[in-house]
Amino acid sequence: MAEKLVELFDTTLRDGTQGEAVTLTVLDKVSIAVRLDEFGIDIIEGGWPGSNPKDAEFFKEISKHNLSHAKMCAFGSTARSAAAIAADPNLNELLRAETPYVSIFGKTWKFHAEKGLGITESENEQLIFDSVRFLVSHGRTVVFDAEHFFDGFKNDEKFALTMIRAAEAAGASVLTLCDTNGGSLPSEVGNAVSRVRSVVKVPVGIHTHNDSELAVANTLMAVSAGVTHVQGTVNGIGERCGNANLISIIPNLILKMQCLTNKQLQLEQLTSLSNFVYEVINIAPNNRAAFVGKSAFAHKGGVHVSAVMKDSRMYEHITPETVGNQQRVLVSDLSGQSNIKYKAKEFGLDLSGDKELSKRLVANIKSLEYNGYQFDGAEASFELILRSETNEFSPFFKTIDSKIHVMFDNQKHSKSEAVVKIEVNGEEEHTAANGDGPVNALDNALRKALLRFYPEIALIKLVDYKVRVLDEKDGTAAKVRVLIQSGDGNETWSTVGVSENIIEASWQALCDSINYKLFKSKSNYISQIQQ
């Protein structure tokens, strides 16, 4: 398609906050707004000042920041009564926000106007016209959100078109067609947009929800049909199933549809922007998210990896670095020698000339995964196996003995104590430690025993701990897989352990975690000396 200029409208701070488990403070909203401005978003809808004091406070706070590109927008509804437009509290709160843009929604589905508001078609039309005209007369650029437009268009096309014409006649600069219930199909969206563009002269926008898993598809279809104003949220957060995901929409518009934006976007910052917003709202990133997810360019099957190593276009629709992501190769029971060689190369090892070692590693990994290990989520444990096979790594300590004591009573009081005996370079250390649970006690005891030999382990912190039952039919005798993520302030790494005993599986993962840290510390020290 021919190049088209699109305007990007972000509603993460307004519609996004209506999503379940999404809560933002004023400072959170400011930090996201600043990041959206840096990225190149044109209009940022900051909230509904007429609905809560926090949003009103946000607009005061964001006005203190000199945004380089984005324009702020306050959100609200049409007036409650056409007889008292100038005194309407909602419209006046929008003015008090002092934003250059204002977005207001009005009813474009006859069912909503009659049943929800209890007013006639002409009264609804007048309400829209007078509300928009009032805001325009006070110098605001108005984006009219045609609420439930696609449902209204299917129900009564004449009614829906009459309402958006009223907003246009009153001076709205953009007419945004909303799939508020998220139930429309791309073909329906395309047909409705084409019809609207035939009867209005101002730019048309699109605002979709994801209740049918079609928000992104519907948005792209709308752009194909002539829409130039695109609304959505970062990561698709929003009410119910969420809003259209700008993180997916933007690269599709630019890379696939050759659309232009008002400011040249730094697409290589897309993954970083996605992760930043996830971090601020305190929600774990979606690893399988298109373009930016950790798994978006991850390859596991040996045939795939072999092809990707020759030319990544065989199994990647874009170059991952274009959107700030990176290619990953996973090691599992589906792996072939290509996976092993690729991972070895990541670690600085060239196995291309040692086919026997590659075969041995593949057989070893497949055997371990058959017994429950999983290395695509525990790459530190895999690297230790690889380094062991190449004689670069041997454990920094040996476990001689360990014991766990767990005591609890009917008052739900519990206490855990771990006793460990280890050997380091022929010297034994025997110690004990308490903990909040048996694994925590074991972790504390192990660190305590090793600290005088390896003081650098004091930096290690447990970031995450996951347990999965592998054979549920075996009940309490089932194998479990423990995945531990650790960090030292500079990097994080993951290790794995498997056993019918959850404590033993945890111990394996804990030992791998500490061994990995010590191996890396030793390698970095040697590298510095050689330099």
- Say whether pLDDT at 306 is over 80: no
Q: Cα(343)–Cα(339) distance, rounded to whole angstroms? A: 6
**Is 273 among the domain residues?**
no
User: Quick check: helix, strand or coil at residue 254?
Assistant: helix
**Percent of the chain scoring above 70 in pLDDT:** 87
Mean per-residue pLDDT for 135-161?
A: 97
Share of the chain above pLDDT 90, in %: 60
Cβ pair 234, 19 in contact under 8 A: no
Taking alpha carbons only, the member of 480, 420, 482, 428 closest to residue 453 is: 428
Q: 254 and 134 in one domain?
A: yes
**∠ CA 234-240-243, rounded to 5°:** 30
Confidence of residue 64 (pLDDT cuts 50, 70, 90): very high
- Predicted local distance difference test score (pLDDT) of residue 411: 66
Q: Are residues 147 and 241 in the same domain?
A: yes
Average pLDDT, the chain: 88
The predicted structure's pLDDT at residue 424: 94
User: Three-state DSSP class for 342?
Assistant: helix
Q: Is residue 511 part of a domain?
A: no
Using the 3D structure, point to which of 336, 364, 389 is the last residue of a domain: 389
For residues 423 and 355, membership in a common domain is answered with no
Last residue of a domain, one of 348, 367, 389: 389
* H-assigned helices in 225-378: 246-251, 270-281, 302-310, 337-346, 355-370
The confidence score (pLDDT) of residue 392 equals 86
Q: In whole angstroms, how far apart are CA 216 and each of 6, 168, 206?
A: 15, 26, 11
Does a structural domain hold residue 378?
A: yes
Residue 21: predicted pLDDT:
87
Single out the residue of 228, 226, 208, 204 nearest to residue 216, CA to CA.
208
Positions of E strands within 336-456? 398-408, 414-424, 427-435
Residues 79 and 183 in one domain: yes
Per the structure block, which two tokens stand in for 86? 């100038």
463 falls within a domain: no
359/447 same-domain check: no
| 176-185 pLDDT per residue, tens | 999 999 999 9
Final residue before a domain boundary, out of 370, 389, 408:
389
Together in a domain, 202 and 334: no
CA distance 100 to 35: 19
What mean pLDDT comes out for the span 222-235?
Answer: 98
In a domain, 375, yes or no: yes
Domain range for 349 is: 298-389
Task: Please give the pLDDT value at position 319.
Answer: 85
Q: For the sheet with 480-487, list strands across it.
A: 461-469, 480-487, 492-499
Residues 165 and 200 in one domain: yes
Tell me the backbone φ, ψ of residue 470, rounded to 5 degrees.
Answer: -90, -35
68 and 212 belong to one structural domain: yes
Indicate if the pLDDT at residue 334 is higher than 50. Answer: no
pLDDT tens, residue by residue, 357-375: 777 777 777 777 777 776 7
In a domain, 339, yes or no: yes
Read off the CATH number of the domain in which 425 is found. Answer: 3.30.160
Q: Identify whether residues 201 and 319 lie together within a single domain.
A: no
The number of folded domains in the chain is 3
Query: Mapping DSSP to helix (H, G, I), strand (E, B) and coil, where does residue 499 land?
Result: strand
Q: Is residue 281 part of a domain?
A: no
323 to 265, 317, 452: CA distances (angstroms): 11, 12, 45
Q: What local confidence, expressed as pLDDT, does residue 415 receive? A: 84
The pLDDT of residue 311: 64
- For residues 164 and 233, state if they share a domain: yes
Predicted pLDDT of residue 338: 60
Do 205 and 230 contact (CB within 8 A), yes or no? yes
Q: What is the pLDDT of residues 400-429, one digit of tens each?
A: 988 888 887 666 667 899 999 999 999 999
Residue 324: which CATH number? 1.10.238
Clarify whether residues 23 and 64 are in a common domain.
Answer: yes
321 and 252 housed in the same domain: no
The answer on pLDDT for 138 being more than 70 is yes
Q: Any idea which of 192-201, 282-291, 336-345, 431-440 has the lowest mean pLDDT? A: 336-345
Within-domain flag for 501: no
For residue 472, the model assigns a pLDDT of: 57
3-state secondary structure of 230: strand
Residue 171: CATH number of its domain: 3.20.20.70
Task: Give this prediction's pTM.
Answer: 0.70
